[in-house]
A and B are shown apart, each in its own frame.
Chain A
């Protein structure tokens, strides 16, 4: 139990740090983002409602004479209500609505691609590490090239090859725009079809990291006493590999999931840009290009919360995988 309490405590601290960082960054940076936003809003013909200005001010900092702690608590209060203000790049939509629309696209795309990549990388890594000395070892240097390829460049190449030249996949977008979004077969299959190349980009770019890590841990696990014992017991090779070596070797990959997920999320933001994917990464870049600070802040928070949540789930899972963590120290 102590393990779980410690983990949950850590993520509460991390969440607080992210929220506070989000509060401090605009206040530490040069310029006056609130005025920029209000000016943009006025251009768009938006009503310059004092409450709108107040929401922006709490988020981005102001010289209205409020003290910093007052602003901080006002900001926290707004976050609790999901109040991020109005997006100027998608005026008059609220930031929270823009986020709610784009978030599912990214969660599904990155989630599914990460699971595929993890399973594939760890599986291949286990086999390569176990069959060390065979031709499979030549896979190892090849994966380093993949791991070093920038996500967005790989996306460009895939688009050039499979969309432009061969025409197998759509060039961009998240679904066929002639369809209405909904849970019907036409729309879903169109969404899957459009997600294929972005997902492939993420899988190819991230699979090498999992593979290498797992391979190295398999090599180490191969010389453990419990693996030797399992072999002496006359167990089948596949069973020794999976239940004894890989079962232990996978633990560092799971423990290091947070680091890898950070890279994947970073990579997929730029990948979404290449595919004009209707996800949250595209929204973040759209916000940056249009000085839509409110949307930018909102998206950053949501991405961070999602990543923290995913890591928390993985950490809790780790507790199930390794009984030793459940020992109270």
Chain B
């Protein structure tokens, strides 16, 4: 349960402080502040003297009124918050859990309640109730009935996703009673969300009640911050400059609301941990300005020397990695998940994100024309220009590498617009058509969206995109993992053909060692952030030295027979 408790933060501290202070004020202050309704003949006195916050038009003490009104507003807020949360739970959780027709009806009802504007409805209902019958309960019920829908929608969405989790399915198989599953399996996981919806309901209720009272439709037997503002408005506090009368009630509402929102932030951060950490710039390095010069191999296109990548203060994810990618070769990087191979791939192009940081080492790119680019020392603008023109990438999550809301043609075109600004529109289009044809995709597909393409097609679109600028290095991170075997083979065969025809070098990252043995020239085996074995593919196949590589090789049966169906 510890995971469900908010982490302590300045926001949470301030939020709790505000809310508790105001709640305490509403609880305790009415006891000693005196009679809020006592009328004196010192109307509209500014703060000071006997009256901490001055007096109203009829000489009532503003401080005493504020205390009583705070209590009234909090009472209504809590009451409505509870009722609205119960209603939203009834419609959202039950509907989401039961599903089928009940869910359809509940969610239709919820959505209808959501689009009918709340306050006008409340005003109309309150308008038909004669003032003498307009008590706190009436107002609270009206506010709850009109204010639960937004929460119900949120709760329903979350319940739907919880319903399909394994432990709920297990409970269903075990034939547990529905109410028991909801109470034991679903509710505890909804707790943070319920809490934030409750907080939101309380805030909404206090605000709505204030608005309603301000227009004279509030409860006739309670004094709240809204009624106080109503009397201030009707007593011409504004026109007579009696700021001490109308500023404090509103300020109190705003501060209380601010406190509740800050608490909600902390709850949100439990629900969505990504909101929590503060990020700095990606691609950060701590490289000294004058590292020792590296003498590259004569046919190298990319030289990585002693590269170390750290995650904040934790142990290094990549430690002293050195490797050389030769022009036109395929260098395979093997290792189990979490060994640092993806971190390495990202760091080479400085795509690593905080808290990852390059602590030391160098990445040198040797251009066709003889120039050497020190990637880790490029300025942001130089780095941007370097990316994709010299070194392109095909990602692990290629299924999600395409922007879902723009046609793929636009995403290909983006590359050319940025890196080849002189090309005219038709020329850009011609190039896009050309690369799509290369990977065997109908150019008609330029207008398609990602969801209209199969997994294999999307991956081929990504490869086409990587070919657009005729790069010298292509980094491929698990390019075929999510695809079925036939498509995998087809894509790899294509890749080899392009490599032969276009002459780029490939850094191919995968956990699939047999695949690497088949298609790569050199292989590096990585474990715990370090390269433990590095050599020609044939040497590793026959004479791996490190016990870990031997173990990896043994773990794939019938490797030597190459039963996987040759790629070449």
Chain A contacts to B: CB under 8 angstroms: 10-11, 13-14, 17-18, 21-22, 25-26, 29-31, 33, 132-133, 137, 140-141, 144-145, 147-154, 156-157, 159-160, 164, 216, 219-220, 222-226, 228-237, 239, 243-244, 247-248, 251, 258-259, 261-263, 265-267, 269-270, 273-274, 284-285, 287-289, 291, 293, 296-297, 299-300, 303-304, 307-308, 311, 321-324, 327
Contact = CB atoms under 8 A, between A and B. Distances in A.
A300 B120 contact: yes
Interface string B5-45: 00000010010000000000000000000000000000000
Nearest to A234: B387
B117 to A, nearest CB: 5
5 contacts: A144-B257, A148-B203, A150-B210, A216-B275, A223-B274
Given A225-B400, A296-B124, A266 B406 contact: no
Interface string B179-222: 00000000000000000000000010001101100111100000
A225 B415 contact: no
B233 interface: yes
Nearest to A17: B112
Given A25-B124, A29-B125, A147-B261, A285 B403 contact: no
B415 A157 contact: no
B349 interface: yes
Contact of A262 (B117, B262, B272, B418): B117
A322 B403 CA distance: 11
B150 interface: yes
Contacts of A152: 210-211, 214, 229
Q: Which of B123, B401, B418 has the most CB of A within 10 A?
A: B123
Given A216-B268, A216-B272, A267-B211, A153 B389 contact: no
Contacts of B379: none
Contacts of A291: 127
A148 B400 CA distance: 38
Contacts of B215: 270, 273, 285, 288
A233 B418 contact: yes
Contacts of B535: none
Given A29-B125, A234-B384, A234-B419, 16 more contacts: A11-B115, A14-B112, A30-B133, A132-B278, A144-B262, A148-B258, A153-B210, A224-B400, A226-B403, A228-B401, A233-B465, A235-B384, A288-B217, A293-B128, A307-B117, A323-B451
Contact of B405 (A22, A303, A321): A321
B260 interface: yes
Contacts of A133: 278-280, 354
Interface string B229-246: 100010000110101001
A236 B211 contact: no
Interface string B35-62: 0000000000000000000000000000
A110 B449 CA distance: 36
A22 B268 CA distance: 37
Contacts of A228: 351, 395, 401
Q: Interface SS of chain B: helix, strand, loop or mixed?
A: helix
B161 to A, nearest CB: 15
A307 to B, nearest CB: 5
B150 to A, nearest CB: 5
Given A148-B253, A152-B229, A284-B120, A220 B274 contact: yes
A239 B414 contact: yes
A222 B217 CA distance: 46
B278 A247 contact: no
Contacts of A150: 207, 210-211, 214, 250, 253-254
Nearest to B398: A225
B402 interface: yes
Given A164-B239, A258-B115, A265-B119, A229 B418 contact: no
Contacts of B112: 13-14, 17
Contact of A327 (B130, B253, B451): B451
Nearest to A323: B449
A102 B241 CA distance: 31
Given A219-B275, A233-B414, A233-B415, A10 B111 contact: yes
B296 interface: no
B500 to A, nearest CB: 24
B156 to A, nearest CB: 14
A259 B114 contact: yes
Q: Across the A-B interface, give the 9 residue pairs with the lowest CB-CB distance, nearest first.
A: A148-B257, A266-B119, A153-B250, A234-B387, A144-B261, A29-B128, A225-B397, A225-B400, A288-B127
B233 A156 contact: yes
Given A29-B128, A150-B210, A300-B120, A258 B405 contact: no
Range of interface residues on chain B? 35 or more
Contacts of B253: 148-150, 153
B405 A234 contact: no
B155 to A, nearest CB: 14
Interface in B378-402: 383-389, 392-393, 395, 397-398, 400-402
B118 interface: yes
B121 interface: yes
Contacts of A13: 108, 112
Nearest to A326: B449
Contacts of A273: 214-215
Nearest to A308: B115
A112 B210 CA distance: 25
Contacts of A289: 216
B404 interface: yes
B247 interface: yes
A55 to B, nearest CB: 18
B254 to A, nearest CB: 4
B130 A31 contact: yes
B173 interface: no
A319 to B, nearest CB: 12
Given A229-B395, A235-B418, A248-B403, A149 B246 contact: no
A157 B246 CA distance: 9
B50 to A, nearest CB: 25
A12 B243 CA distance: 47
A296 B351 contact: no
Nearest to B393: A232
B128 A141 contact: no
Interface string B289-311: 00000000000000000000000
A148 B419 CA distance: 46
B170 interface: no
Nearest to B384: A234
Contacts of B174: none
Contacts of B121: 21, 300
A145 B259 CA distance: 8
B123 A269 contact: yes
B129 interface: yes
A259 B116 CA distance: 9
Contacts of B125: 25, 29
A243 to B, nearest CB: 7
B324 to A, nearest CB: 22
Given A156-B233, A235-B414, A248 B128 contact: no
Contacts of B400: 224-226
Nearest to B465: A233
Interface string B259-270: 011100100100
Contacts of A293: 127-128
B282 interface: yes
Contacts of A26: 128
Contact of A265 (B120, B207, B265, B402): B120
Nearest to A307: B117
Given A13-B112, A14-B112, A239-B414, A266 B120 contact: yes
A198 B108 CA distance: 34
A291 B129 CA distance: 11
Contacts of A259: 114, 150
